Amino acid sequence: MNALRSLLKLRRRPRLSAMDGFQKLLTLLLIVLSVFMLLPIVYIFNHAFKPYHELFLYPPTFFVQEPSLQNVNELLAVTARSTVPMIRYLFNSVFVSALAVLLVTGVSALCAFPLSKHRFPGAGFVFAAILLTLMFAPEVVQIPRYLVVSEIGIMNTYFAHLLPLMAMPIGVFLLKQFVDQIPDSLLEAARIDGASEFVVFLRIVVPVCMPAIATVAILAFQNSWGNIETSALFMLDDEMKSFAFFLSTLTNNLANNVAMQGAAAVASLIMFVPNLIVFVILQSKVIATMAHSGIK
């Protein structure tokens, strides 16, 4: 153990000695900033396990002093009185989020590939129209979405959860930027060897774009996991609604109420943890995406 520590120290010394004063100051500032950015995550975990006398303590405390499962029991008691089991809402959210990630990444990649590497009339106009949709607020398209879902007859189905989420303009934009960097000569060489367009897309384009695909997957999961719009507008039966919508019904109108604040804290933690897990798993790909977008 001592030998291992000595070896680690020897490896660290050259790195530190190679830094000048500005680099050391910058490293210190980045460490402080990282700790500061972690504070909300630490707070939400501590807040979920605070007993009621700590939830309303003034001045408020950052760390929990007497951890308790009282809030978890309160949330379970509330969900036990629901006509639909909580596991049903959870299944809906997991199922829809998993399908949304697959469909959004697939549709975005299949859209970005021809826009980048195939010259067809109106390609520039199509891409400009996709970018233009980034300017619209979600509230602007709620009525058109409802009319489309209603007219094609998919109300109260899982497809109504998925259809409004499948088109992600930012996903198409990110993937197109990656596909643009693939040399045309590489794709032509694959076609000369007899590869079909699908093989070229699957064997060359997709592996190169994996960092961007991972980033789009994170965005798609976050958009789907916390979505309550589709449940509120398109689902008629409670059995088809999402876990996020169910928790929102528990925490609505609690801003000035004492009751159920503990359940609301645990509900917030439950909604946050899956996003954190997905981001931690794919964070290296996200960093690669940001680095790639800054290199021209």
CATH numbers and ranges of domains, the chain: 77-293 (1.10.3720.10)
Q: What is the pLDDT of residue 282?
A: 78
Q: Which residues of the chain have pLDDT under 70?
A: 1-18, 251-259, 285-296
Q: What is the pLDDT of residue 2?
A: 47
Q: What is the pLDDT of residue 296?
A: 43
Q: What is the pLDDT of residue 92?
A: 92
Q: What is the pLDDT of residue 96?
A: 93
Q: What is the pLDDT of residue 99?
A: 94
Q: Which residues touch 51 (CB under 8 Å, ≥6 apart)?
A: 66, 68, 70, 71, 262
Report whether the peptide linkage leading into residue 274 is cis, meaning its omega lies within 30 degrees of zero. no
Measured distance between the N- and C-terminal CA atoms of the chain, rounded to whole angstroms:
46
Do 172 and 255 touch, CB atoms closer than 8 A? Answer: no
Q: What is the pLDDT of residue 103?
A: 93
Q: What is the pLDDT of residue 64?
A: 84
List the structure tokens of 12: 């660290």
Q: What is the pLDDT of residue 105?
A: 93
Dihedral of the CA atoms 162, 164, 166, 168 (nearest 10)? -150
Do 142 and 229 touch, CB atoms closer than 8 A? Answer: yes
Q: What is the pLDDT of residue 8?
A: 45
- Is the pTM for the entire model greater than 0.85? no
